[in-house]
Structures are given as C-alpha cells and as structure tokens.
A and B are shown apart, each in its own frame.
Chain A
Amino acid sequence: MSQPAPIGQALLDAGLVTPEQLDAALERQRTEGGHLGQQLVLGGAVSRRELYGALAEQWSAPLVDLVADPPDDGLVRRVPYDAALREGWVPWRPDPDRPERVLVATTEAPTDALRAQVAAHLGTRDVAFRTTTPWDLWKAVEASHRADLLFESQERLHSEQPAASAADGLTQWQRWAPLGVLLVVVGLLVANPAETFVVMLALANVVFFAAVLFKTTAALLVPFRHRRRVDAQWRETRERARRGLPPRWAVDRPDHELPVYTVLVPVFREANVVQKVVENIGSLDYPKSKLDVMLLMEADDEETIAVARAMRPPEYVRLVVVPPGKPQTKPRACNYGLTLARGEFVVIYDAEDRPDPDQLRQAVAAFDRDELMRREGLSHEDPLAVVQASLYYYNADYNVLTRMFAIEYAHWFEAMLPGMDEAGLPMPLGGTSNHFRADVLRAMGAWDPFNVTEDADAGLRAAVEGYRVDVLPSGTGEEACAETFAWIRQRTRWIKGYLVTAAVNTRHPIRFSRRVGVRGVIGMVGLIMATPVAFLAYPLALGFTATTYVGVQWIGLDLPEWVVGASVTTFLFGNAMMIVSAALAASWRYSWRIGGFALLSPLYWLLHSIAAWRALYQTVKDPHRWEKTPHGLTEDYESEHDQHAHLVSG
C-alpha cells in the first residue's frame, strides 16, 4: 500500500475519513489519477467543505466562503474568467490590514508557480492566500463575469463572424425571393397554364430526383466505406507485423491518462426527466474524477431547477443556471456551459440520452488516432474536430410515429452519414452525442445561438473552417417523440434550421462556393436545400397526381408523354429506393418488425411536409423561434425485445 499523502493523513488524523475510505481513494487515484482529495469527495468519504477546510489548515490559508462573502467585482474582472477557472484562483479583495496587498482565494496549493500566475495577471506579488472550494470559485467567477459569459454565449459568433451567424436572419433578397417566385408562377399560370404546369412539374421532378439521388447514392456508398475500412485495417495490420508491432493499435489510454471530459446536458422544462441524468451519465465507463458534467438550466425554469437541486447530484455534476438572455435557445445554453467547461473534449447529451458506456473512451481514441496518423504522416486528411455517435431510439416500437422516427434515424445514421463521410461531404451533426475538441469548438465560434439547428450548422461550419467530422461506431439511445403535434413542432424547428443554415451560407453564394469547394456545394444543395424543398413540393406532387388521376378528364390537361413517364418513374422509383434503403437500415439497427414500417414512409413524409410549410412560414416571420421538444412522453417505456407473456393459469 502506498504511503498516504499529507492531506490524507490530515483527514485521517482529524477523524474525517476512515483508513478504508482513504485506501479506496488512494487506489482510485492510482488508477485514475487526479487529486486524492477529489477522490475522497467523489467517494463520499468527506464533503467538499471538509476537504478544503483541512487543506486550508495545511496551506495556512484560512477558508473563505465566496458566496457568503463575495469577492470584489472590479478585482475579479482583472483576471480573464477562463484563466481564473483554469488556474483555480480568483482575487478576493484588498487586505483590510494592508490595502496594497491582495487577498487571493485559491483552490490550488499556494506555490511559487501560483504566485507567478497571480503576478502575471494582477501585476503584484504582494498577495496573501485564502482557501476556497472549486464550487465557490466557479460561482464567484460566474457572478463577476456574467457580462463576458453572456457575450461569449450569445454574441461572439455574430460579432466576430457575422456572415456565419443566423442572427441577422434572412437578407432582404432572401426574404422576398419566395414571394417573387410565387408571383412569377401565378403570372405564368394565368398567361399560359398548360406550359407552366409542365415546366413546374418538370422542375419538381428534378428536385425530387436530385434529393433521392443524393440520399440513395450516400446509402449505396456505405458498403464501399466498409470495404475501404477493412482494407485499410488489413494494410495496417500487415505494416504493423512488418515492423514487429502488435497486430492492432492499442487505442485505449489508461485511465490516469484520460483527459477531463465535459458533458453538457441542456434541459428546459424537463423536471420529469432531469432525474435520469445522473443515472444515464453515471453509467458511462469513464473515471468520475475526469468527468465534468453540467446540467444547463434556464433561469426562468424554476421547477426544473428545484427538482435538480433536490436530487443532490454527485460531485462531478454541476447545476448551472443560465442567466436570462436572448435568444433563449439550446445552443446559447450550451455555449454558456462551454465557457465554464474544464474538459479537453466536450459532448452534448439530452437528459434522457443513454450513451453506450464506452462512448467517451471511443471518442478519445478516435481523436488520438487522428492525431497519431497525421503526426506520422499516414493521413493527409483535415484534422478531426468532431465525432458523431450514432443515435437510435430505445422506445422505437412505442407507437407508429416512434417507429417511423426510428426508421428515419436508422437511415440517417446507418446509411446517410457514413455515406456522406465516404463521399467526403460535409456532414450536418445530430442533436446530441457530437464530441468536440473543446479548443477547436471555441476557435470556430462555438454553436450559433441564433440557429435552431445549431448541430447541423456546426458540422458544416467545421468543414468550412477546414476540419473534419467523422462518425463514431458507438450509439446513444434517445427517446423518440411519440406525439404527432410535438413531432411536427420539433420537425418544424429542424427544417427551419436547414432553411436558415442554407440562407446563412448562401448570402454570398459565390464566396461560399469558393470556400467549401464542389463537395461542400453538393452537400449544401443535395441535403440542406433539397430536403426542405422536397418536403415542400411533396404534397403538391401528391395532390397533382391525385387530381390528374381522378380529374384529368375534366380539367383537360394534356401532358406530354415524357413528362408523365418521367414523373411516374421518378415518383415510384424514388419512393421505392427511399423505402427500401430505410427498411434495410432500420432492420439492421432494430429488427424487421420496425423495418417493415418503412412502407408507411409516404404517409410519414406528409407530416414532414406539414412541418416544412410551417418552417417556411416561421423562417420568414420568426426565424429564431425555438419550439422545444418535450421529453419523457413515453415515460420509461423500452422497446419490446423479449416476449412478454405469462403461462396459462388453468
């Protein structure tokens, strides 16, 4: 057994911990690293205040309560908030006995190095130390730097990269373009209805065909991607054998080398599910001492805040109340959390998310491998900025809507994203489980708080900034929205996000094309633009088909054979391709019982169309409106994997 550290001995002597608790904490410190005191607190052996009380005695720096006795705002603001949080100290106040001396509240041992850091920021070495807890420090910094933090959260991207932000909404020409198109169409219909109809139908076919072609091609690329990866693995194995190395690269870092990982969990009016956060995040196989979990709650969401506080989360979970501000969106809350984040990596999870236990380790391994490959000159790809885990629904068979949603997600994460990755196209990210390098995320301006699909936007912006997005072979179980109207509201937001993202990126189309190249343009047009347009056009095409099927003999429309043939072929073939590929993906991810529901996709797409038309209206009228998706609608329902039955009693 290793010798107890002085703080351990001190706590033991004070009777605050037992020898067994100390041994257990030492063992965790040996395997995970970190401070012994932190391990003792995480293990529940000692409270945070007791620990820092003991440290205060050791450091001969009396313990101060920064909440009860707040620091001098002016002094605090002389130190950048990120430096204060990173270095673990904050200037408290002038020494009442010697006003030229500054009292510094610290969570770290007051060493010479710390003195040097303080001097670098405050310009004086005449300081005296007081001890405080990390929680006190964070609250003090948050209180004094509120304006900075809010600027970072909601203004910085718009301020530094206005062209990349959705804050300004649509430009004038973008705002009036739809109306202009509508007027032109109406005018042409009045002047020459038959030919206008043919042209419109032909255009609708082109759009529909392009959208289907894009998605089908992406799905078809998945087997090639798999083959390429297998080949690459073989080549690597052979090369490693030639160099006398073990056949497989050991991807996992030992626990003590793992970095601090920040997990952001934004919640809003979700008091019913907030209690699951600890359970779900707690099941992650990652050293708790390396976890920096933040539950991000809006200040006006008093119910959720009350429930969260009452549940007394473990030490590695911080309850962060995001100050009021505009826009009140999820990305803004996440940005706020990012400003306080301690982790080298950052990931977003929803409260009800159930990530695979090893997901954080896999993400770290993916980043490590990328770094190694580029360092060794084995990869010439752009540096990896974010990895996206696959999302699936654990309540997939709750009702028909959840089944359809699950099919769509399976198609997206098992076919589309890997296919787009294979094609080298920029990938829009999913709403959660996207793991960022924190420094890269900050450098690219974090999430756009004005974009209602900040995830998709961030993925594209990463590509524009010269980074790479990859797909992580790990899954996160989510709760599919089980109510139709809630689903429509959620989908309205998503499609509006696509429209806004497209609008933001095409304010200067030529400049955008130059920056992103051909692949970026293909991704933008084929996915971000074509998706909403196809859903907008879908009911029109369907209505046209129904009308002509039944009423063609009355309306007297004589369509050219090629138009009818192309329309029927595109419609049937396109729908069939989408249905088959979605069914295959969903059957692979779930089972044929889910996959078979892909046959109902044409009806499901009608719901998309309703959302698309709502989204178009909102994009013009209210582009920043955030329609929150309720969670916890299906309570604790989980898909039926086993047969549920009981024996006949008699």
Chain B
Amino acid sequence: MTTATRAPERTGTTTRTAPPSAWRRLRTAFATVPTGRQVPGTPAAFVLGLTVGAAASAYTVHAGTTMDYGDAMAHLTIARRVTDSMDPGLSQLGTVWLPLPHLLLLPLVQSLFLFRTGLAACILGALCLGASSAALYRITARIGLPPAGRLVALAVLLANPSLLYASTTALTEPVLVAALLLTIAGLAGWAFNRRRLSGGELAVFAGVPAAAGVLTRYEAWALVISGAIFVVIVVLRRGDGVRRALALAASFAFPPLAAIGWWVAYNTATYGNPTEFLTGQYSAAAFTELYIEKGQLTTKGNVGLSAEVLGWAMLETVGLVVLVGAAIGLLLMTARQGLDNRALVVWLAGTSTAFLLVSLVGGQHIMVNEMSLPPGAYNNRYALSAVPWAALLCGYAVSYVVPRRAWKVGRPLAVAVAAVALTAQNVWWVGDPDTRMTVIEEAIDGKVSLADTVAAATWLHEHYDGGGILMDENSDKMAVAPRIGVPLRELYYRASGDVFEDAVAAPEDYARWVLMHREQVSTGGTRSSTDQVTAALADDPMFHVRYRMVFSSGDIGVYRRVTDPTDPPFDGGDIRADTAGAVDAAGSAS
C-alpha cells in the first residue's frame, strides 16, 4: 500500500505513482478553473470557514459576549418558543423578522444548554461561515481568479472581526451572507458550466439559496431581481433568445417567489393580513414610524446623507484597507473586463449594498452612526453584507494589480502586501474596538443598556425553583429569556396567547414570579414596547401584597408570590437589592 508521501514505486515494468499529498491536492485544486459541477477545493474552504467560526465562538463564549445584542436573545427565544411555549406552533415565528434564521436555530435551541449559553447561535454561525467561505471560494474559482486572488478573498471574509463576532451571535447577518454567497455561487456555476444547465438545476443551485435568503432578510429580495437580470443577460449573450432567457429567469426566481408566497400565506393564515410583516404592529415600518415621529430618520429622502451614513458603516465594518483594495479591484475589473459575465457576477455581490442605500433613502431602514443625525450606533451591522463584494474585488485586485509579465513574482508579493495590510487593519481595530468598530460598539451599548435586565434574569436563573414567570418579553429591554434559562412554557408573555392577559389580570393564579420594570419607561422603539405587566401591576397595591420584590437592578424588579401556601419556602438567601433601590418589608421598592 502506498502512502501519501512515498515516492513512486516500481512494480515490474510499470510505474505506480503514489497518490498526491493532501497539500498537493489542495494546491492543485486552488489552481483549477472548474467547468463542471464540482469545484475542487470547496470542502477545504468550508472547513477553513468552519474552523475560523469555531475559534471565534470559543473566544466570544469565553468573553461572555455572544448575547450582548438584545436582538440576538430575541432571535434565540423566537426559535425556541415554536416548540417550547404555552402556545407552541409556527405562529410563534411572528412577523418582526423573516423566519429562516429562527427555523435554522430551532433544532439547536431544543437543548436548553445551547439556548441559555447562546452556543446554538455559535454553531449556526460557524456553519454559515463555513458555507460562506465555500461559496465565496466557488465564485472566485468560477470567475477564474488565480490562487492568490482566491486566498485573499477568503482572507478578507474570514479576517473581518465584525463578521466573525456576528457569526457567534444569533443575529441574522451570518445566515444572510451565506445565502447571498450561495445564490451567487449557484448563478456563477450555472453561467460558466461547460454544459448548458437546465432551468431546474438553476432553480435548485441558485434559486433555493435565494429562497433561503428572501426568508432571512430583505436584501436578498433585491438579489432575486438582480440575479434574474443576470440570467437574462447571460442567456441573451449566448444567443438563446428572449423566450429562453425569460424561462430561465423564471426558473431562478421560482423558489424565492414560492418562499415569499409561503410567507404571505403564513401572514394571512396567522394574522388574517397578507402584509402583516410590512404593516403590523411589530413590523419594521412600525419601528421606523417612531423614528420619523421623533424626527430622527434623517436619511429618508436624503441621498447624500444616506450615502454618508452607509459609507461610514462600511468603513467601520468592512475596513478602510479592504475598501481601498476593493476600489482598486473595481477599477481593474472594469478596465479589463468591462461588464462581461464574470464582472457581472462580482457586481451581483454589490446588490445588497445598493439595496441598503435605496432603503435608507426610502426610509425603510434605520442606520445610526457618527455620520447620522443624531449620531449613535445602531444597525451598522447591515453593512456586513458588503463584505463578500469587497472580498471578491480585493481578490480581483491582488490577481491583476501586477502586469502579466510579473505575475510569477508579483502575485505572491501582492498577497504578502494584502496580508500585511489586513493585519494592520485588524491591529488598529483591536486597539480600540469600542469606538473603531461600530458593530462592537453597538454590542457594548446593548450590554450596558440591558445590564439591569440581564442581571435580574441571571439572578432569576440562579434562584428559580419552579412555577410560572410573568413578564412582557416584547417590552423595552426585556428580551432576555435565554438568560433566565428555563423552559419557555413556564413563561407567561405575549407569545403565550390569551393566557398572558389572564395572568396579567390575576397574576397570583398563574405566576410564582414576575419580572417587570418597576416603573413604566417610555424610551422603547415602538408603541408595542410598553411593558404591559408594569402597566397593570406596578401601581396595584394588591400586587405588592401578594408579591414581594426579591431582586432589583436599576428599573427592573423580580417579584415572588408570597400568598400561595403551596409554593416552596424561598431559599434565595438574603433579599438583595441593588445600589439604586431598597426593599422594604412589604417587598415594594422605596
């Protein structure tokens, strides 16, 4: 038996060659331009992405930052409550966000441990990063980038600390980036296959990832349009005629349109309104409405400001070095290839950025950073969807920045320069991530903002001895169910259905615990963010007779029922209070 490293053996008069080593196979794979379905090197790229994702997860889990974003905890909760709730079912997906990330998290959060620690999100994020890497690699291979370009493209993707951080949380960006890249990889595979692939294959390899995308974020809806246009152009350039072009574009668009159809049907069936996700009380529109009323949606109708805000978000998430590289790549690509099919593939990756700009101008999205009015840090992570585009352009730049006659020496040199520049960029970022990386800045803001609620939830997790918990999880800063870490069927919250209102009306009949704002706050993002439990109970003297506050942190209090003799004695030790409040004998805050 030959081994990977053994020299060729001679057997009789014939020479038997030892199989090439894994390294050699990988080098060969990275140097091939695929013309069939298989792209050598894809598994290696997947494993690389997965490994980097796992390492990032290990770091953030150790640092305890996986759930700093309130939205991350909300996503985990939505995923789990589909199966673990007083009113389980698909209707628990709600309409605040598109459903796929929750459905992908669903099997993972069945483990209370993975749910409570946020590891479920880390697993999904690492898998998405693996898929993104594999897809990005396939695109670079399809458009014929040499090994240097492929490596740099992967490096740009996998060395982006904001994306890596997002991949360790339950935010939707990892899923979106993976879906976008898989869609473009499918389109590139279809366009550059030596055999003309069928509409069915186009639907499966590009349309299905696009369907995943449209059920993840609205950026992918735009990619469906640009992807369909790409298909039409490619087919027309082949000379296959308009009819064939439209048929293939329809094949590509069918899965995402079917997915949208399902989503509309879901909204109709669950809420009686097919556009509930657009117009309902929990929709993004309802959220932006509040900003408009406050006069804080200044990007709406303002192209210049929108471009500035988006540009700044890209600068802080994609990085100056990468953006410069991408600009060079864009110039080179346009000069060398114009708008040929390979260039169009790269342009497809810019769809989400264009969509963001349009939606900022149209007032559909809110993005806040140092360029916005007023300044702050909010939703800048949306710019992460530009990382794949920048990665492809950087890969292109490294591939062709040196003239052909100098490729042999110039390309390794270009890779080295890119590596140094990326390292320098990251070193600079790491020097002060709180202010230089807006994605991290927002996480820290979230952590500070949620500190009191998280403290209360953590305390409740440690002292929980059974019984129902009444809370308004939808209200401001209360999306902390994973931190409580108990089965969600113990929670009386809005997602529990009518029983929530019953529990609010007569909490002592349902809940041993109540977690609420001690006083009503009005800083929430939407009208629906009012704490309904606080509204009903905070000023109810009977509530304070029946319940005693056993923990408080800031404006958040944890209350325990004292009137039910069947409740076990509370052995939570001393009733603690935070520095801001005190607890009197009756349990009410003074």
Q: Is B194 in contact with chain A by the CB < 8 A criterion?
A: yes
How far does the alpha carbon of A600 sit from the alpha carbon of B201 in the complex, in Å? 12
Picked from A400, A550, A553, A648, the residue with its CB within 8 Å of the CB of B198 is A400
Q: Assess the A648–B31 pair: CB atoms within 8 A.
A: yes
Q: Assess the A647–B32 pair: CB atoms within 8 A.
A: yes
Segment of B36-44, B61-69, B537-545 in the binding face: B36-44
A residues 532-573 near B (Cβ < 8 Å) are: 546, 549-550, 552-553
Residues of A contacting B37 with CB < 8 Å? 397, 593, 640
Segment of B265-273, B355-363, B508-516 in the binding face: B265-273
Picked from B31, B40, B201, the residue with its CB within 8 Å of the CB of A399 is B201
How far does the alpha carbon of A549 sit from the alpha carbon of B274 in the complex, in Å? 13
Picked from A398, A549, A593, A650, the residue with its CB within 8 Å of the CB of B407 is A650
Q: Is B197 in contact with chain A by the CB < 8 A criterion?
A: yes
Q: Is A190 in contact with chain B by the CB < 8 A criterion?
A: no
Q: Is B34 in contact with chain A by the CB < 8 A criterion?
A: yes
How far does the alpha carbon of A399 sit from the alpha carbon of B203 in the complex, in Å? 11
Q: Assess the A645–B201 pair: CB atoms within 8 A.
A: no
Q: Is B238 in contact with chain A by the CB < 8 A criterion?
A: no
Q: Assess the B265–A549 pair: CB atoms within 8 A.
A: yes
Residues of B contacting A553 with CB < 8 Å? 269, 272
Picked from B35, B203, B268, the residue with its CB within 8 Å of the CB of A646 is B35
Residues of A contacting B26 with CB < 8 Å? none
Q: Is B467 in contact with chain A by the CB < 8 A criterion?
A: no
A38 to chain B minimum Cβ distance, whole angstroms, is 38
How far does the alpha carbon of A397 sit from the alpha carbon of B198 in the complex, in Å? 11
Picked from B40, B144, B146, B200, the residue with its CB within 8 Å of the CB of A643 is B40
How far does the alpha carbon of A263 sit from the alpha carbon of B272 in the complex, in Å? 64
B residues 251-283 near A (Cβ < 8 Å) are: 265, 268-269, 272
How far does the alpha carbon of A397 sit from the alpha carbon of B34 in the complex, in Å? 17
Picked from B32, B204, B404, the residue with its CB within 8 Å of the CB of A400 is B204
How far does the alpha carbon of A593 sit from the alpha carbon of B404 in the complex, in Å? 38
Q: Assess the A645–B36 pair: CB atoms within 8 A.
A: yes
Q: Is A401 in contact with chain B by the CB < 8 A criterion?
A: yes
Q: Find the residue from A398, A400, A549, A600 having the highest chain B CB count within 10 A.
A: A400
Residues of B contacting A268 with CB < 8 Å? none
Main secondary structure of the interface of A (DSSP, over half): mixed
* With contact pairs A549-B265, A640-B37 given, residues A648 and B32 touching in the complex (Cβ less than 8 Å): yes
Q: Is A380 in contact with chain B by the CB < 8 A criterion?
A: no
Q: Assess the A399–B35 pair: CB atoms within 8 A.
A: no
Q: Is A644 in contact with chain B by the CB < 8 A criterion?
A: yes
Q: Assess the B197–A399 pair: CB atoms within 8 A.
A: yes
How far does the alpha carbon of A592 sit from the alpha carbon of B328 in the complex, in Å? 41
Q: Assess the A552–B269 pair: CB atoms within 8 A.
A: yes
* With contact pairs A546-B265, A549-B265, A549-B269 given, residues A647 and B31 touching in the complex (Cβ less than 8 Å): yes
How far does the alpha carbon of A643 sit from the alpha carbon of B36 in the complex, in Å? 7
Residues of A contacting B407 with CB < 8 Å? 650
Q: Find the residue from A550, A597, A645 having the highest chain B CB count within 10 A.
A: A645
User: Count of A residues near B, CB < 8 Å?
Assistant: 22
Q: Assess the B33–A645 pair: CB atoms within 8 A.
A: yes
* With contact pairs A400-B203, A549-B265, A640-B38 given, residues A646 and B32 touching in the complex (Cβ less than 8 Å): yes
In the complex, what residue of chain A is closest to B200 when comparing beta carbons? A400
* With contact pairs A400-B200, A648-B144 given, residues A643 and B34 touching in the complex (Cβ less than 8 Å): yes
A residues 626-650 near B (Cβ < 8 Å) are: 637, 640, 643-648, 650
How far does the alpha carbon of A549 sit from the alpha carbon of B268 in the complex, in Å? 9
* With contact pairs A643-B38, A645-B35, A648-B32 given, residues A399 and B265 touching in the complex (Cβ less than 8 Å): no
Residues of B contacting A549 with CB < 8 Å? 265, 269
In the complex, what residue of chain A is closest to B90 when comparing beta carbons? A549
Residues of A contacting B404 with CB < 8 Å? 650
Residues of B contacting A600 with CB < 8 Å? 204
How far does the alpha carbon of A388 sit from the alpha carbon of B197 in the complex, in Å? 34
Residues of B contacting A647 with CB < 8 Å? 31-33
Residues of A contacting B194 with CB < 8 Å? 644
B205 to chain A minimum Cβ distance, whole angstroms, is 9
Residues of B contacting A643 with CB < 8 Å? 32, 34, 36, 38, 40
Residues of B contacting A648 with CB < 8 Å? 31-33, 144, 146-147
Picked from A400, A550, A552, A637, the residue with its CB within 8 Å of the CB of B201 is A400
Residues of B contacting A646 with CB < 8 Å? 32-33, 35
B residues 227-269 near A (Cβ < 8 Å) are: 265, 268-269
How far does the alpha carbon of A650 sit from the alpha carbon of B198 in the complex, in Å? 31
Q: Assess the B268–A550 pair: CB atoms within 8 A.
A: yes
Residues of B contacting A400 with CB < 8 Å? 198, 200-201, 203-204
A450 to chain B minimum Cβ distance, whole angstroms, is 35
Residues of A contacting B197 with CB < 8 Å? 399
In the complex, what residue of chain B is closest to A546 when comparing beta carbons? B265
How far does the alpha carbon of A637 sit from the alpha carbon of B197 in the complex, in Å? 12
B376 to chain A minimum Cβ distance, whole angstroms, is 41
How far does the alpha carbon of A397 sit from the alpha carbon of B193 in the complex, in Å? 14
B102 to chain A minimum Cβ distance, whole angstroms, is 19
Residues of A contacting B201 with CB < 8 Å? 399-400
A583 to chain B minimum Cβ distance, whole angstroms, is 15
B35 to chain A minimum Cβ distance, whole angstroms, is 6
Per-residue interface assignment for chain B, residues 399 to 421, with 1 indicating a CB less than 8 Å from any chain A CB and 0 otherwise: 00000100100000000000000
In the complex, what residue of chain B is closest to A596 when comparing beta carbons? B204
Residues of A contacting B269 with CB < 8 Å? 549-550, 552-553
How far does the alpha carbon of A597 sit from the alpha carbon of B37 in the complex, in Å? 15
Residues of B contacting A397 with CB < 8 Å? 37
Residues of A contacting B265 with CB < 8 Å? 546, 549-550
How far does the alpha carbon of A648 sit from the alpha carbon of B141 in the complex, in Å? 10
How far does the alpha carbon of A550 sit from the alpha carbon of B32 in the complex, in Å? 50
* With contact pairs A550-B268, A640-B37 given, residues A645 and B200 touching in the complex (Cβ less than 8 Å): no
In the complex, what residue of chain A is closest to B272 when comparing beta carbons? A553
Residues of A contacting B146 with CB < 8 Å? 648, 650
How far does the alpha carbon of A376 sit from the alpha carbon of B147 in the complex, in Å? 68
How far does the alpha carbon of A141 sit from the alpha carbon of B272 in the complex, in Å? 78
How far does the alpha carbon of A637 sit from the alpha carbon of B194 in the complex, in Å? 13
How far does the alpha carbon of A646 sit from the alpha carbon of B194 in the complex, in Å? 12
Per-residue interface assignment for chain B, residues 123 to 145, with 1 indicating a CB less than 8 Å from any chain A CB and 0 otherwise: 00000000000000000000010
10 contacts between A and B (CB under 8 A): A399-B197, A400-B201, A400-B203, A550-B269, A552-B269, A600-B204, A640-B36, A643-B32, A643-B40, A650-B407
Which A residues form the contact surface with B (CB < 8 A)?
Answer: 397-401, 546, 549-550, 552-553, 593, 597, 600, 637, 640, 643-648, 650
Which B residues form the contact surface with A (CB < 8 A)?
Answer: 31-38, 40, 144, 146-147, 194-195, 197-198, 200-201, 203-204, 265, 268-269, 272, 404, 407
Can you add 6 more A-B contacts, CB < 8 Å, to A640-B37, A643-B36, A644-B38? A549-B265, A550-B269, A597-B204, A645-B34, A646-B35, A647-B33
Ranked nearest first, the 5 interchain pairs of A and B with the lowest CB-CB distance are: A400-B200, A644-B36, A399-B198, A645-B32, A550-B265
